[in-house]
A = this chain, B = another copy of it.
């Protein structure tokens, strides 16, 4: 009996180590293919430089959808299609303008000079405009929601300047983003509640430049919708300094408004499974970007990585056991209609989704994979760590997903995963005009695809 057990153990070990070796050889092939013949970088160049900004409803969106479909086909999808969904259509509507005005003592007795300074701002996504003539009001600096509540009597008729700082002490910068994010999301309505006329929000960034960082705000329908803008960090510091010394008025002119919803699409490419075609693995990024940038890291990177996995699988002749869907989601930034649509259709068709993975944290050097699923599934995924680690993702963390695949998880309980690249540079460029192709490094981008491809391969081979 003991001998049998021993032999069984040996057999198991041999098989296990044989499988590990086979897997590590296969993953090296994927990596070599992507690092040597990768097309992600050139695809990103096209998406950012030839198409550029592609907010839901914009002409850029339409062009990027056509591009996405074509590249899915060229990269070897068995089938590629557009999944229609209605998307919101917010437009900036013109140039955002802000001028600070203040007086300071001049040379002559009792004379005052009027000084002005242009501020670098960007209206928040989904925000309303100021009206044609703009609005001019005194500015009150508010450093936190606690302070807002304490000083609620002083808010009426003013422009609230939320100067809440991005917390530099978080090593993971996404924690600072989550922390400061409430001011962009809730700030306008919480100020409107007390009669504010507009809000200016310190950009959620620790960049050393002065670019404003936009992003979606959410109005609470209980209160007036007021104009809301983000301000660059240097201008925020300047404004804060002025306000300690004197009264400052700001004239804001923004033109944001919604046009009627329009038609957008998720772009889907598919490799049909050879053994379990009904089991679906989804991998994707979102195709839309903010209107003020090329959306190279957010999320051009996730899109071209997604396509690169498809291309590399085909290039090395990999025939997946399960069906793999490569998805460029519509409208992540200000509506999530693409992700919702994808989940709705999956539910309506009673599809079996075994995993959804997303890359939407920038095309930076890969450091970890995130995974959300049962404990048993997590242990299985964790057993692959040493196979993936050589390519950059040295950790597999609990908790992973993405905005676009959240609906699939909520409606079908699909386990979700994310590529977690290094976070240090993301909020320098996030939602700002500096999110351009030049900010992406070719190898970092490619290695992201390598790590994702390795993970998808293992899930395809062993299931979850």
Contact = CB atoms under 8 A, between A and B. Distances in A.
Interface of A: 31-32, 35-36, 41, 168-169, 171, 173, 206, 208, 365, 367, 390-392, 394-395, 422, 424-425, 428, 441-444, 447
Contact of A171 (B206, B367, B390): B390
B444 A31 contact: no
Given A41-B208, A390-B171, A424 B443 contact: yes
A425 B447 contact: no
A390 B367 CA distance: 13
Q: How many copies does the complex hold?
A: 2
A173 B441 CA distance: 14
Contacts of A442: 206, 208
Given A442-B208, A443-B206, A422 B41 contact: no
A365 B422 contact: yes
Contacts of A32: 169
Contacts of A168: 35-36, 443
Contact of A31 (B169, B390, B392): B169
A365 B35 contact: no
Given A31-B171, A41-B208, A365 B447 contact: no
Contact of A441 (B31, B390, B424, B444): B424
A371 B292 CA distance: 46
Contacts of A35: 168-169, 171
Given A41-B208, A424-B443, A394 B391 contact: no
Contact of A365 (B365, B428, B443): B365
Contacts of A425: 441, 443-444
- Enumerate the 4 nearest inter-chain pairs by beta-carbon distance, A residue then B residue, closest first: A424-B443, A35-B168, A32-B169, A365-B422
19 contacts: A35-B168, A35-B169, A35-B171, A41-B208, A168-B443, A171-B391, A171-B392, A173-B443, A206-B442, A208-B442, A365-B365, A394-B395, A422-B422, A424-B441, A424-B444, A424-B447, A425-B441, A425-B443, A428-B441
Contacts of A443: 168, 173, 206, 424-425
Contacts of A392: 171
A279 B390 CA distance: 37
Contacts of A424: 365, 441, 443-444, 447
Contact of A394 (B173, B365, B394): B394
Given A35-B171, A422-B422, 11 more contacts: A31-B169, A31-B171, A35-B168, A35-B169, A171-B392, A206-B442, A208-B442, A367-B367, A394-B395, A424-B443, A425-B443
A173 B444 CA distance: 12
A82 B31 CA distance: 48
B208 A447 contact: no
A399 B201 CA distance: 48
A45 to B, nearest CB: 10
A425 to B, nearest CB: 5
A171 B447 contact: yes
